[in-house]
């Protein structure tokens, strides 16, 4: 147990559940660290699993969960845009206790995935749909198109996701207009 992480287990609604998850994960021989404000468990400096809490549940996040077998059918893809990680969600200690053996087997498999050096094949930016409202602007301005293409793939995806999330065309247009100057400056959505 890493004392830097102890605070996480002494706050909030899910204390009992996450303390139990901590014990199960540590039984798998991983090193406990604090990353992104959460307990993160690593093998040879590679992230394997993270414990995190939400309003409705607590969860284990397996960083390369997409590569794992899922014989129990318990791995959850948080959103359609999450490519690699998968969650195992819990609502109480009974669920955790009843699935302890399965949890350990998933963690051991995740360690083997890391040992083997396997990587999740990630989608390229070009594989994502460009909202029509943004495509019109790209077609009108070669400077905008060039600026967008020189952004990092992560920044490109962030813009595409943000523009696409708006349900109405008018809102998408407003978002595109608002962020054109940032794109032209070579900045990301949050820069």
pLDDT tens, position by position, 109-154: 999 999 999 998 887 777 788 999 999 999 999 999 999 999 998 8
Predicted confidence at residue 153, as pLDDT, reads 86
CB 94 within 8 A of CB 100: no
The sign of the torsion formed by the CA atoms of 27, 73, 16, 40 equals positive
Q: What is the mean pLDDT of residues 66-71?
A: 96
Residue-level length of the chain: 191
Question: For all residues of the chain together, what is the average pLDDT?
Answer: 94
Predicted confidence at residue 133, as pLDDT, reads 96
**Taking the model in full, what pTM does it have?**
0.74
Q: What is the mean pLDDT of residues 67-78?
A: 95
CB 96 within 8 A of CB 17: yes
CATH topology of domain 3-115: 3.90.1150
- What pLDDT, in 10s, does the model give residues 89-104? 999 999 999 999 999 9
Residue 81 confidence (pLDDT) above 80: no
Q: How crowded is residue 20: how many other Cβ atoms within 10 Å of its Cβ?
A: 17
Q: What is the mean pLDDT of residues 162-169?
A: 92
Reduced 3-state DSSP string for 63-114: CCHHHCCCCCCCCECCCCCCCCCEEEEECCHHHHHHCHHHHHHHHHHHHHHH
CB 8 within 8 A of CB 1: no
**Within the chain, which residue ranges are assigned CATH 3.90.1150.200?**
3-115
């Amino acid at each position: 147990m890493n004392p830097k992480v102890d605070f996480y287990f002494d706050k909030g609604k899910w204390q009992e559940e996450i303390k139990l998850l901590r014990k199960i994960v540590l039984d798998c021989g991983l090193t406990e660290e604090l990353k992104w404000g959460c307990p993160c468990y690593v093998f040879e400096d590679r992230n394997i699993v993270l414990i995190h809490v939400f309003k409705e549940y607590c969860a284990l996040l397996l960083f390369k969960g997409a590569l794992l077998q899922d014989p129990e059918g318990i791995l959850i893809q948080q959103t359609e845009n999450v490519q690699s990680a998968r969650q195992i969600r819990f609502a109480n200690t009974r669920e955790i206790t009843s699935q302890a053996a399965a949890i350990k087997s998933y963690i051991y498999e995740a360690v083997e995935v890391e040992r083997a050096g396997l990587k999740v094949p990630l989608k390229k930016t070009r594989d994502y749909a460009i909202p029509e409202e943004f495509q019109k602007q790209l077609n009108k301005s070669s400077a905008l198109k060039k600026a967008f293409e020189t952004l990092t793939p992560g920044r490109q995806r962030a813009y595409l996701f943000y523009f696409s999330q708006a349900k109405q065309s008018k809102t998408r247009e407003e978002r595109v207009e608002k962020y054109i100057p940032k794109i032209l400056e070579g900045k990301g959505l949050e820069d």
